[in-house]
Amino acid sequence: MSLAQTCPAIRRMAIITGGGDCPGLNAVIRAVAKDAFHCNIDVQGIEDGYLGLIENRFRQLQPQELSGILRRGGTILGSNNKANPSQFAVGKNPDGTPIFRDFTEDCLRHLRNRKIEAMVVIGGDGTMTSAANFASHGISVVGVPKTIDNDIQGTEITFGFQTAVDTATDALDKVRTTADSHHRAMVVEVMGRNAGWIALHAGVASGSDVILIPEIPFDIDAICETIHNRERQNKRSTILCVSEGARPRDGQQFVAKVDPTSPDPIRLGGVGKFVAEALEKRTGIESRYVVLGHVQRGGVPCPADRVLSTLLGHHAMMLLREGKVGRMVAVQNGRLTDVDLQEPAGRQRLVPVDHPLVSAARAVGTSFGD
Ligand code: F6P
């Protein structure tokens, strides 16, 4: 059956990428827009996420813009992780707190004036919450979940995650060789917000000796004990893969920055330094730390993410064909499906402490610092 025979009844649609970027965004844009072009649908790209929607910045996507973007990191449309249309900071009060304004009506007007009949929204939980708000105002929206953190409720995998795991694993592998040379403990702090998925997967893939995740608070004495045990076994180094959201059993998460203008104001960071310094002080073993940071968000998507992005983009277009809107495409039990756009709102998909990968890691001797 040719695609043209089953085209959605749409003449013009928009695509937007919101929130923090991740590898695979361009592959989704490509999958959606190529399909739309086959159906002679005019595709408008909204620039810089919801900021562009608030500011009425649209551009018509051209077929030639899609060439070569399957393997390109970032997003050709740009993104923004501060622009929440219903609560956008427009200035500051005398006490420094932000002044917010609701731009929902402005955004709806821009979409209607431009005769946008459907919108594919690619983003994380915050972006999906705003998308659900537009859907409740009658806009035909389909969401595609993204994040390196893999923490979106309703889907068991998000694109960008596997590339981030590759990057973190590569860093952990590299750190091992230098740690071995110097008999050191090396701490690698990885991203993931409040979910330990990146640390868990990269930690297992690299054979890290200690994995610290937010879901399992750690005890520094237990980690010291692991290091001493390794010394007794004449191990040359200890590698610790630490999630930025990890916290001590008797303490709080480490906050690097608070941005009150952002829908998600807390920026985590600092636990890697804390752990490395505490270990060196208590064990006398030289310890160093590395914060991988945004390296995990950049670069080319791995093949698995290119495939997943293409599948999710295609599924979004299939939902538009069926007129099934107000939905987010998802993967559940390994199969493509869709869930209500509200599903991810205000919730994060955390690592269950009895997850099979946690058990497998424990079984090969990995410590979770508990
Ligand atoms: O949600 C993706 C993510 O990279 C998190 O892992 C990290 O905590 C956060 O975004 C960093 O945000 P920013 O790009 O604003 O520093």
**pLDDT per residue as tens digits for the range 16-50:** 999 999 999 999 999 999 999 999 999 999 999 99
- Whether residue 149 lies in the annotated active site: yes
Q: Are residues 180 and 153 in the same domain?
A: no
**pLDDT per residue as tens digits for the range 350-366:** 999 999 999 999 999 99
Residue 138, classified by CB atoms within 10 Å of its CB into exposed (0-12), middle (13-18) or buried (19+), is exposed
Structural domain tally of the chain?
2
Measured in whole angstroms, the distance separating CA 210 from the mean position of its chain's CA atoms is: 23
Enter the pTM of the model: 0.97
The pLDDT score that the predictor gives to residue 318 is: 97
Q: Are residues 225 and 274 in the same domain?
A: yes
Q: Classify residue 359: in a domain, yes or no.
A: no
Q: Are residues 234 and 318 in the same domain?
A: no
The pLDDT score that the predictor gives to residue 156 is: 98
Q: Are residues 82 and 171 in the same domain?
A: no
Report the chain's mean pLDDT, rounded to a whole number.
97
CB distance 149 to ligand 1 below 6 Å: yes
Q: Classify residue 143: in a domain, yes or no.
A: yes
CB distance 8 to ligand 1 below 6 Å: no
What's the CATH code of the domain at 82?
3.40.50.450
- Distance from residue 78's CA to the centre of ligand 1 (Å): 16
What's the CATH code of the domain at 247?
3.40.50.460
What is the atom index within ligand 1 of the atom nearest the CA of 245?
8
Q: How far apart are the first and last CA of the chain?
A: 56
Q: Are residues 9 and 73 in the same domain?
A: yes
Could you tell me the residue range of the domain that residue 241 belongs to? 162-298
Q: Are residues 135 and 12 in the same domain?
A: yes
Q: Are residues 178 and 66 in the same domain?
A: no
The percent of residues above 70 in pLDDT, for the chain, comes to 99
What is the atom index within ligand 1 of the atom nearest the CA of 192?
6
Q: Are residues 239 and 325 in the same domain?
A: no
| Protein residue with least CA distance to atom 16, ligand 1 | 267
- Distance from residue 73's CA to the centre of ligand 1 (Å): 16
Q: Classify residue 311: in a domain, yes or no.
A: yes
Quick check: 254 and 269 in contact, CB under 8 A? yes
Q: Are residues 24 and 155 in the same domain?
A: yes
Q: Classify residue 255: in a domain, yes or no.
A: yes
User: Does residue 4 carry a pLDDT above 60?
Assistant: no
- Distance from residue 17's CA to the centre of ligand 1 (Å): 15
The pLDDT score that the predictor gives to residue 1 is: 56
Q: Are residues 168 and 126 in the same domain?
A: no
209 pLDDT tier (thresholds 50, 70, 90): very high
Q: Classify residue 347: in a domain, yes or no.
A: no
Q: What does the DSSP assignment read for 132-184?
A: HHHHHTT--EEEEEB-TT--BTT-S--BTHHHHHHHHHHHHHHHHHHHHHHT-
The pLDDT score that the predictor gives to residue 306 is: 98
